[in-house]
Structures are given as C-alpha cells and as structure tokens.
Amino acid sequence: MARRILIVGGVAGGASAAARLRRLDENAVIILFERGPDVSFANCGLPYYLGGEIKERGKLLVQTPEKLGANLNLDVRVRSEVIEILRKSKSIRIRNLQTNVIYEEGYDTLILAPGASPLIPPIPGIEKPGIFSLRNLVDTDRIHTWIQNQQAKKAVVVGGGFIGLEMAEQLKTRGLEVALIQRSAQVLDPFDPEMISPIHQELITQGIDLRLNRQVIRFDDTTPKGNSLNVVLDDNSSIVADVVILGIGVRPDSHLASDAKLEVNARGAIKVNDHLGTSDPCIYAIGDAIEVADPITRNQTQVPLAGPANRQGRIVADNIAGKPTRYRGTLGTAILRIFDYTTACTGANAKALTKAGITFKAVYLHPNSHAGYYPGAHPLSLKVLFSPTDGKILGAQAVGKDGADKRIDVIATSIHHGGTMDDLVDYELCYAPPFGSAKDPVNLAGMVIQNNINHLVEIIHWSEVEGRVQRGAKLLDVREPKEVETGMILGALNIPLGQIRSRLNELDPSSDWIIYCQSGQRSYNACRILSQHGYKCCNLSGAYKTFSAAKSMGV
Ligand code: FAD
C-alpha cells in the first residue's frame, strides 16, 4: 500500500518537503494542509509589495494548489487547519475552515512545518484597528487596504529587527512618514553595535524618526477621535500614527506539537535530532518552529530564516524517502537592504561568543567594494571574528553600499567547512576592477588575522583603548593632518606615516604605543616600522573608523 505522508504548513518548509518527496516517491500519498488561503507564497517579498517595489500581487504566489496538484500530484488542502495530532492512532484532526467540518486523516509519517507567529505583546490598546503584524498575504492585504482607505500618511514601526526595518524602508518608499521604535540601543540584534552605526545614520538620513532605547507603553485614540492613534512611549512622548506595524519578533507556532506531548524547549520550539525527527519516530519537524544547533557556540537556538526552512524541507524528504541526511545546524547567515546600504552577517557575533564563553578576537577592515580607481567603488566595513589559537573563523559582519553580500556569502561557506584564516587568504575569488580587487576584502581579512596570529603585529579592539591608556599606553595617530582635523582620539600624538622614520626621536621607546590611522592599513605599516626599531606597539583594529563608529553608538 502507498505510504501516507501528511504535512502541516504549506509555505517555505512544508512546500519544499512535499515537492522533494514527490520527486523521490511517485507512489506516496502526500497531503499538504495549510490554514491560510495560499500555499508556497513569498513571505520575504511581502514588505516589497507593500512598498510598491513589487507591483503585482500575483508575483508573490510562487505556486498555487492547482499547480502543485497538476505538476506534483500533491493533494493540497488550503483553509484547512490541523487541530490535533492523535499519536496513538497515527492520525490528525483537521478543521475545514470554510465548512467548519472536522475530519481525520491517518498517516505513516507526519511532517510539522507550522512556522512561527508574530509576538503580540500585551500593550494596552494593541487590539485597536490600524495595528498590524505581518506574516502572510492575508496580513499584507489588510495593511495595504488600510493604508489606501485611510489615506495613511504616518506610520509607526515597532521593533528594529529584519522585518521591522524592511517595513520602515518600504513604508517610507511608499511616501509615509515613518517612526521606528526600538527597545534597545541598536537595531538588528545579530550585529555588534559598532557595525550598526552606518545603518542608524542611514535611517536618520533617509528621514526615519529613529527612537532607540524606547518602548511603547500604550496605544491611545487621538482626540477628537479619528482613525489615527497616539503611540505613547515610555518617556511619555507620543507619536501620531495612521498605521502601526509590529515587528517585535516571532514565536514557534508549535502548540500542536506540545499538545501532542512532543518534546519542545522552554520557548516552545520543537526539539529535533540531526535528521529532523521529533521525539516521535513517525513525526518530523522543520522550519521556524524547530530548535536548531548553532554550529559555532554549540548552543541550541531558533533561527527563523527562509534558507534553513527550505533546506530542511529537502533534508526531511530525503530522510523519509530512505536517504539518511543530516542537518548540520544554522549559522544565521542573513542580509538586509536599508535604503542605500546593505548589511549582512554570518556565524556568531561578539555578544554570542562572549555569552558562550568562547575566546575570540576580531579584525575590522574598511576596504573598497571594488578597485578604488574604478568608478563607483564604495567603502565596505567588514568585521571577522576568529579563534586566536588557530585562526578558525567564527563569524563575520559587513556593511556598506556595495559588496557586503558576496563577502559574507564567501565567509559563510568557509565557516561551514571549518575554514581558517589560511583559507581566507588562499581563496581565489573572481576579480576585475568593476567587481572587486586583486586582493579581495575576504583575502585581506585572512591576511590581517595571519599577521596577528603569527605575531607580526599585535591588535587591540576599540573597546580596549581606554583601559590601555589608563595603564600608561600612548596613542599615535599616523594620518595626514587634514584627516586629523575631522576628529581624533583624545590625547593622541599625530605623526603621519611618511614622517615616522625621521621623527622616531619624538616617540618614547619605553612606552606602550597604540597606533591608529583611518582604516588600519597605514597603522599596520607604522607598527611594523616601530616594532623593528624595538618599540612595543599595537594596531587599533579598524582604526579611527571603527573607534568613532563605536563611540557614536555610546558603547
Ligand atoms: P512558514 O513559511 O511561515 O509556513 C508555515 C505555514 O504553516 C503558515 O502558512 C501557517 O499558516 C501554516 N500553519 C501553521 N499551523 C498550522 C496548522 N495547525 N494547520 C495548518 N497550517 C498551519 N527569511 C529570510 O531568510 N529572508 C528574508 O528576507 C525574509 N523576509 C521575511 C519577511 C516577512 C514579512 C516574513 C513574515 C518572514 C520573512 N522571512 C525571511 C522568514 C521566512 O519567511 C521564514 O523563516 C520561513 O517562511 C519559515 O518557513 P516555515 O515553513 O517554517 O514557516
């Protein structure tokens, strides 16, 4: 008899699993249950449709139930909510949301791909009309219609994560005034604060009213009562909004699993093994609803991203079809465009490594996105975190107007294969002047790490400068006087790189010298000169650019 494989959730993970399963098993009965009216739609495209960049709604529908039925012989049941898993009888109960009829289907194997639902905090007034979260096309249509019908001009976005920032950008692009409220001191938590300073600057430059360290305490009606709201913040200021978007985070939509006594973690994420099997051997789980391993910190975590959900869909299908395949964890490789800037990251950041008790160092580079002499090059800031014992790469973050994506993709690939500084140096990456440099920023990062680990130069981080100075170290700025005029670290002596050899007598040989320039390259050269003359010195990684970015973040 044909195997019966039932799937709960018909978007990223569920639809991928169903399609792969059919390709591997022509005879299986595969039924996909989706609570909403659409399957396999482009969640990641929703903000861009709301902003008007994606013009046709239909483009968001990657597949339809009809196409999946015809092309893959899948039985796709939309508006069908799975309400219970009956593990003993290996069946599920489904409510047809159109007819309200409840029925049962038996399974040999069940895949849970229910995703994650937006967090809706219990803020007074949160139920008022005009306040939305964004998860699917139904939400998108509601927001679109509200903005049109109310002729909304002012928006408040609550939450500075990926979805919050995409919505802030897109609502602004649509012509609304936008305020962005973020509880902590920085947007985009996966990034370290000093890397995020250009993003804050870009938000402000583009006219977003950025409110950091602020929380919404209630939503009031405006007086006289209209359709707008007063969004009241914890400093008692308030912002008028015709539309409010909540982007506060998500939580695994896993109540089916917990009700069925499958193992879940404290945050509700379904626990799975390497083969994505749950605590019941007949039930698998994938996507935003599961707990995954962080390959760097070895901690269990949740990473709600489309790439992992899609890959897990394929892997689960392989395992069910008898092709044992391991899921090797989620690095959290992610990217965001915010107006003219792109910011991307992979692996662990400093906060995560510190929390996990992992010893690390970081190098900062500020190279050009492609050869500086070719028109259109933009500065790119790159931070690479590594193990100081063997140069193993632990994480990376990049921000700039161009080239962040490809550098982070290369480093993500490297981390996936256990890459070290030597690998980054050795990579042969494509190069012609419009695209990169003969020494790509990825190669350069490897070289800077090698120079440090091989004791050619000691590096210190921006956060260590104050302590070292208090312990008697002196600061040497090797930039040109014109650059120094734009700002310098208090108390530094300025001797441009080209004059160092002739002015050595001005430098106390018994002192510990912290050397910096604008991006770190000239100060590295200065360090090499000084150390070969017997001076004790170190290079401020990322130099003045990173130092001033960190200071502008108040860290
Ligand atoms: P989903 O794709 O959310 O699918 C789960 C489905 O299960 C839902 O449609 C739900 O209705 C259904 N379901 C739940 N419970 C039941 C039930 N009991 N019965 C029947 N059906 C049920 N990720 C990126 O990597 N890059 C991006 O740029 C990006 N942008 C995003 C933008 C937005 C606005 C959103 C909302 C998400 C974005 N994501 C992005 C995240 C990405 O979409 C998710 O990580 C991914 O879709 C997760 O896949 P999933 O299969 O686990 O869940």
Using CA atoms, how far apart are residues 387 and 397, in angstroms rounded to an integer?
16
Ligand 1, atom 14: closest residue by C-alpha? 114
| pLDDT tens-place string over residues 530-549 | 999 999 999 999 999 999 99
Is residue 420 helix, strand or coil? strand
**pLDDT (0 to 100) of residue 297:** 96
Q: State the catalytic residue, choosing from 44, 517, 537, 538.
A: 44
Using CA atoms, how far apart are residues 515 and 284, in angstroms rounded to an integer?
55
Helix segments in 321-387, DSSP class H: 350-356
- Check if the beta carbon of residue 206 is closer than 8 Å to that of residue 180: no
**Angle 151-155-159 (CA atoms, 0-180°, nearest 5)?**
150
User: Residue 449 is encoded by which pair of tokens?
Assistant: 């790490």
| pLDDT tens-place string over residues 88-102 | 999 999 999 999 999
Using CA atoms, how far apart are residues 258 and 65, in angstroms rounded to an integer?
29
- Check if the beta carbon of residue 268 is closer than 8 Å to that of residue 258: yes
Ligand 1, atom 45: closest residue by C-alpha? 305
CA 212 to chain CA centroid, Å, is 19
β-strand partners of 397? 345, 383
Average pLDDT rounded to a whole number, residues 174-197: 97
| pLDDT tens-place string over residues 294-318 | 999 999 999 999 999 999 999 999 9
- Check if the beta carbon of residue 230 is closer than 8 Å to that of residue 388: no
- In this prediction, what percent of the chain has a pLDDT beyond 90? 98
Query: Among 6, 8, 11, 254, which is best to mutate for testing ligand 1, by the most ligand atoms less than 8 A from CB?
Result: 11
- Give the Å distance between the CA of 10 and the centre of ligand 1: 9
- Give the Å distance between the CA of 304 and the centre of ligand 1: 8
User: What is the atom index within ligand 1 of the atom nearest the CA of 80?
Assistant: 20
pTM listed for this prediction: 0.95
pLDDT > 90? residue 151: yes
Q: For residue 209, what are the CA distances in angstroms to 123, 162, 407, 465, 503?
A: 21, 17, 31, 32, 48
- Check if the beta carbon of residue 400 is closer than 8 Å to that of residue 380: yes
Using CA atoms, how far apart are residues 295 and 311, in angstroms rounded to an integer?
16
| pLDDT tens-place string over residues 196-247 | 999 999 999 999 999 999 999 999 998 777 789 999 999 999 999 999 999 9
| pLDDT tens-place string over residues 460-479 | 999 999 999 999 999 999 99
Mean of all residue pLDDT scores within the chain = 97
| pLDDT tens-place string over residues 424-464 | 999 999 999 999 999 999 999 999 999 999 999 999 999 99
pLDDT > 90? residue 1: no
User: What is the atom index within ligand 1 of the atom nearest the CA of 307?
Assistant: 25
Query: Among 7, 20, 38, 43, which is best to mutate for testing ligand 1, by the most ligand atoms less than 8 A from CB?
Result: 43
H-run or E-run covering 181 = strand 177-181
Which residues are near ligand 1 (CB < 6 Å)?
8-9, 11-14, 33-36, 43-44, 46-47, 81-82, 113-115, 134-136, 163, 253, 256, 287-289, 304-307, 309
Say whether the peptide bond before residue 224 is cis (omega within 30 degrees of 0): yes
E-assigned strands of 505-550? 512-516, 536-540
| pLDDT tens-place string over residues 44-90 | 999 999 999 999 999 999 899 999 999 999 999 999 999 999 999 99
CA 491 to chain CA centroid, Å, is 37
- Give the Å distance between the CA of 288 and the centre of ligand 1: 7
- Give the Å distance between the CA of 292 and the centre of ligand 1: 16
- Give the Å distance between the CA of 316 and the centre of ligand 1: 17
Ligand 1, atom 29: closest residue by C-alpha? 44
**pLDDT (0 to 100) of residue 167:** 98
Average pLDDT rounded to a whole number, residues 405-428: 98
Q: For residue 536, what are the CA distances in angstroms to 67, 234, 287, 373, 506?
A: 69, 49, 52, 35, 15
Using CA atoms, how far apart are residues 408 and 419, in angstroms rounded to an integer?
13
Is 44 an annotated catalytic residue? yes
